[in-house]
Amino acid sequence: MGSVLVTGGAGYIGSHTSKLLLKKGYDVVIYDSLELGHKEVLKYLPGAKFVQGDIGDGQLVADTVKKYDVDSMIHFAAYASVPESVGDPVKYYQNNIVKTLTLLDAINSQGVKHVLFSSSAATFGETQYVPIDEKHPQKPTNPYGQTKLDAEYILHWYDVAFGIKSVALRYFCAAGADPEGELGEDHTPETHMIPLTLFAALGRRPDIKIFGTDYPTHDGTGVRDYIHVTDLGHAHILGLEALKNGAETTAYNLGNGKGYSVREVIETGRKVTGKTIVATESPRRPGDPAELVASSAKIEKELGWKPQFGDIETIMRTAYEWFEKHPKGYASEE
């Protein structure tokens, strides 16, 4: 099947995708600094090779590609917090752009021609219409989104100059956990809506904040598109197969195409957990759009992608099962 370098493979989406790649018969080489990832995931990725290193270390990347005969790369490694990027744009440009350039030069020096890239809904900025398709203007409103958009352009020019073909997948809100219960979401600090809601159910937080109740949505709270992390993983495999079959460089939006409001997520959390979840209404946060919902029609049509775990209850149940068994995240396994 080939040998895939998975940067950031010890992180949330990278580990879930690696599990699927292994099941499909790919050789998987996880390349991660472990700054934000977890070595415990390796236990659930039998057969995966692991290299602890920084994507900014071009020599180590090139040596790794050579050693494991890598022929494609999925590039997850990045910093991904919007508020942090607003306060410290340099950190984001360094990791997500400067080090990504070093990484791309290193794989290019070894003849790797296929790249899957983790892009983001944050590249779109203010929502002009929903569902957001690939033609929606991309005008990021924060440095994180800008670095993801810049990386999309960089990949375009690497195709023009070096013939590296790439697929950028613009995820909306990744959520849920491995349906087999082995892998889950462990971010510090956690900033995502679904984990925070479930932490409130588990008593790990006193409440869940509703930021803004006066949005022009059906119940006044913000609407987001949640996509199960395993469905995301499948999209990467389809993208990889398409590149191997000669596809051109392109980008796809990836979501369920259905939005859920903050109140609906909290209500689903109560239903799935059977527990009390205290919701506290707070003012809007600057920069939060009212509604972010993807059109995934392009990837459905061109690559035959279909979400298997699309409903919000399944997404929240799989996440909850993992959080219940891992009160301290992966550290619970030590």
Ligand X SMILES: NC(=O)c1ccc[n+]([C@@H]2O[C@H](COP(=O)([O-])OP(=O)(O)OC[C@H]3O[C@@H](n4cnc5c(N)ncnc54)[C@H](O)[C@@H]3O)[C@@H](O)[C@H]2O)c1
Phi, psi at residue 98, to the nearest 5°?
-60, -50
Q: Is 166 in the site for ligand X (CB under 6 A)?
A: no
Q: Is 222 in the site for ligand X (CB under 6 A)?
A: no
Q: Is 55 in the site for ligand X (CB under 6 A)?
A: yes
Torsion of CA 75, 30, 175, 153, to 10 degrees: 0
Coil vs helix vs strand at 333: helix
Pick from 225, 221, 222: which is nearest to 170 by CA? 225
Pick from 108, 69, 95: which is nearest to 11 by CA? 95
Phi, psi at residue 45, to the nearest 5°?
-125, 60
Pick from 25, 28, 23: which is nearest to 10 by CA? 28
Site string for ligand X, 84-113 (x = CB under 6 A): -----------x---x--------------
Q: Is 78 in the site for ligand X (CB under 6 A)?
A: yes
CA distance 9 to 19: 10
Q: Which of 18, 56, 82, 106 contacts ligand X by CB under 6 A?
A: 56
**Residue 129 DSSP symbol:** S
Q: Which of 23, 35, 139, 332 contacts ligand X by CB under 6 A?
A: 35
Query: Closer to ligand X at the Cβ: 5 or 208?
Result: 5
Q: Are 182 and 188 in contact (CB under 8 A)?
A: no
> Active-site residue 144, yes or no?
yes
For ligand X, which stretch binds (CB under 6 A), given 167-175, 211-219, 295-303, 319-327?
167-175
Chain residue whose CB lies nearest ligand X: 11
Q: Is 14 in the site for ligand X (CB under 6 A)?
A: yes
Q: Which of 12, 92, 144, 158 is catalytic?
A: 144
Q: Is 37 in the site for ligand X (CB under 6 A)?
A: yes
Q: Is 77 in the site for ligand X (CB under 6 A)?
A: yes
Coil vs helix vs strand at 17: helix
Q: Which of 4, 5, 6, 8 contacts ligand X by CB under 6 A?
A: 8
For ligand X, which stretch binds (CB under 6 A), given 10-18, 105-113, 127-135, 314-322?
10-18
Pick from 305, 239, 316, 243: which is nearest to 21 by CA? 239
Q: Is 50 in the site for ligand X (CB under 6 A)?
A: no
CA distance 49 to 141: 38
Report in angstroms how near the CB of residue 253 gets to ligand X at its nearest: 11
**Residue 218 DSSP symbol:** T
For ligand X, which stretch binds (CB under 6 A), given 5-13, 129-137, 208-216, 241-249?
5-13
Report in angstroms how near the CB of residue 162 gets to ligand X at its nearest: 22
Report in angstroms how near the CB of residue 137 gets to ligand X at its nearest: 18
Q: Is 198 in the site for ligand X (CB under 6 A)?
A: no
Look-up of token digits 């690696």? 18
Coil vs helix vs strand at 24: helix
For ligand X, which stretch binds (CB under 6 A), given 32-40, 194-202, 244-252, 270-278?
32-40
For ligand X, which stretch binds (CB under 6 A), given 6-14, 202-210, 236-244, 265-273?
6-14
Q: Which of 26, 92, 158, 171 contacts ligand X by CB under 6 A?
A: 171
What lies within 8 Å, CB to CB, of 279 at 6+ separation is 207, 208, 209, 210, 263, 266
Instruction: Tell me how far CA of residue 139 lies from CA of 79, 115, 124, 285, in angstroms.
Output: 19, 24, 5, 19
Residues forming contacts to ligand X in the complex (CB under 6 A) are: 7-8, 10-14, 32-37, 54-56, 76-78, 80, 95, 99, 118, 120, 171, 173-174, 187
Annotated catalytic residues are 144
